Amino acid sequence: MPKGKGLPVVTITGKGNKKRRCPLWDNTRKELRTLIGKREPDDFVFVNRL
């Protein structure tokens, strides 16, 4: 995970292959860890818009 201004960030690829860098606050990181659970490291976090 790259860091930006002291916070870990993730890169999100969106519509039109546009890339965005978003910070991961502690609360967000904890929620994502719960969401992805025991998935493989290369699996997508969000598999569709819902």
The predicted pLDDT at position 21 comes to 92
User: Average pLDDT of 40-47?
Assistant: 84
In sign, the C-alpha dihedral spanning 29, 31, 37, 40 is: negative
Cβ 11 vs Cβ 20: under 8 Å: yes
Report which of residues 6 and 34 the model is more confident about.
34
Q: What is the pLDDT of residue 47?
A: 76
For residue 6, the SS3 value is coil
Kindly tell me if the per-residue pLDDT of 2 is higher than 60. no
Q: What is the mean predicted confidence (pLDDT) over 24-45?
A: 88
Type of residue at 9: V
Whole-number pLDDT of residue 48: 76
Strand partners, 9: 23
Report how far apart, in Å, the C-alpha atoms of 35 and of each of 4, 17, 28, 30, 31 are. 23, 24, 10, 9, 6
pLDDT at 46 over 90: no
